[in-house]
Amino acid sequence: MPSTAPTSAIDPRTPVIIGVARITGQRAALPGKEPLQMWEDVARAAAGDAGLPPATLRELDAVLVTDCMSWRYDDPVMRLAQRLDASPNVREVSAPSGTAGQSMVNKLCKALTSGEAEVGLICGAEALATVRHFRMRGEAPDWSFPHPDGPQYAFDLDAHQHPGEAAIGLTEGVGAVYGFAMRDLARRAARGTSPEAYRAELGETLAGMTRVAARNPHAWFQAERTADELVDAVPSNRMIAYPYAKSMVAIIDVDMAAGLLIATEGWANAHDIARENRVYPWTSCYAEDPVAIAVRKDLARSPAMAAAASATLEAAGVTAADIDHVDLYSCFTSAVNFGRDALGIGDRGGDAVTLTGGLPYGGGPGSSYMLTSITALAERLRADPDGKGLVSGVGMMMSNHVFAIYAAAPPPQDLRHIDQAAIQRELDAIAQCPITDGASGPARVVTYTVMHDRSGNPTHGAAICDLPDGSRCYARIRDPEILQRAEAEEIIGRDVQLVAEDIVSLIVKLN
């Protein structure tokens, strides 16, 4: 119904979310739709959610799409625009990152406030469950408009990491799991928590997230699970990278899509968007840590995450205690834990830091996850018009970070500007540890993880070590006894002996 609330006090160029949509495919009905069709579906559903006739999508003058791993289209934005009969002058495809959804919101809001656009669509989707379905049958999707260089997604993570990280397996295959696991172990050691107690804490956090997923009709896994079920390494829940078992990590083989319609306040008024449908992006901050893990002096925290979180809250004039609804990026528990630490909300359990059930249970559709979380937050804020909500995103090897605050009320007129460039300059000025390739001799373990095969057997370990000269090195662990001890007791802070092995080192003795 038309809004009856006064709007004269709101700047007509204020960006406002007017329509949202989420679609989740059915695991029992694979294969599902291709991403382009999913984008179109959520676009039309978001228009319907806004109370707009489908033909209104012709008015879109901005279309933004998050990176898609499932399929490479030749021109994804224009293929979608053609289906919607739109002619957008603002067009963009995001880089692959867990921060992409919010980054696209920020870019669209800038276009709206500058007058470059009046109404825009942001959407994203993954159909990796369908891709896996075809692969298991020895087939490949025959989807539309493939990129001339090949239809399959290709992103060389190794090119963005230190060569030593690639050499010890932190970037290949499921290598991201290993890097995030190392961060959780560094945090555990800094807190002085025993391995057993810390895994119990991780289990409780994740169990809380499953409770949210169980009541989320859009979740990929709608089942509540206990902490022990999630963290205990058994054949059906094999260890992947200590301390992470299979049930503790993000699930990206999902068919999920989400979309946001964002307009100026003036456009929303002219199209009679109901006041109760409107949700406002208040403020957001993006910041980066160094990409290579070992160069970061303190591996138990993220300065960039802390800076972005603090700037976002301060700009909005609120504290973390004022935030009613939270969705922290949750590919792995280290992302959740570091986010809670940055915000100072360590007392909030797993069911209080996700609105979807998180990437392991709600589903982790690659770079489009934040669109899912923002959509969920918008729905929550519509039901709580006096509330405030916060979402976060994490990209690369926990090096890219974004936080954002939303509310059903328009942003205050004294909302502070965030100087992201100044924040990043301060972060870039933090001293980094130099890396030594192929070190030999004594060293001390800074953090580590143990990698497992598909049968759950330990294969090798990856470690970062401090060297006597103040530099660091990447190291492998192959000795079965050291691997066993690494999972049975704390080895962070332990002295070891190294021998050079190409550009990395090999831990041959645990003192």
Q: Looking at the structure, do residues 21 and 121 belong to the same domain, yes or no?
A: yes
**417 pLDDT above the threshold of 80:** yes
Residue owning tokens 């969920």: 376
Position 4 scores a pLDDT of: 39
Residue 146 per-residue DSSP state = B
pLDDT of residue 352: 98
pLDDT tens sequence across 128-140: 999 999 999 999 9
**165 confidence band (pLDDT: 50, 70, 90):** confident
SS3 474: strand
Range with the lowest mean pLDDT among 145-154, 203-212, 382-391? 145-154
pLDDT at 1 exceeding the cut of 50 = no
CATH number, position 350: 3.40.47.10
Residue 451 belongs to a domain with what CATH number?
2.40.50.840
pTM of the shown model: 0.95
> What's the DSSP call for residue 59?
G
* Residue matched to tokens 């060297």: 467
Please provide the average confidence, as pLDDT, over all residues in the chain. 94
Domain-embedded: residue 156: no
Q: Which of 428, 451, 473 is the last residue of a domain?
A: 428
Range in 169-183, 283-297, 494-508 the model is least confident about: 169-183
Q: What mean pLDDT is predicted for residues 403-428?
A: 95
pLDDT for 156 beyond 60: no
The residue among 428, 449, 476 that closes a domain is: 428
pLDDT at 151 over 70: no
For 44-173, strand residue ranges (E) read 62-65, 90-93, 119-127
Whether 53 is in a domain gets the answer yes
Q: Tens of pLDDT along 340-384? A: 999 999 999 999 999 999 999 999 999 999 999 999 999 999 999
Q: Output Rg (C-alpha) for the chain, integer angstroms.
A: 23
Residues 445 and 311 in one domain: no
Residue 467 belongs to what domain range?
A: 441-510
**What tens digit of pLDDT does each residue of 5-28 get?**
445 589 999 999 999 999 999 988
Which is more confident, 174 or 113? 113
Residue type, 502: D
Rounded Cα distance between 24 and 43, Å, is: 14
Distances (CA, A) of 262 to 19, 68, 383, 411: 7, 21, 19, 15
Residue 181 resides in a domain: no
Same domain for 402 and 484, yes or no, is: no
Q: 249, 252, 259: which is closest to 370 by C-alpha?
A: 259
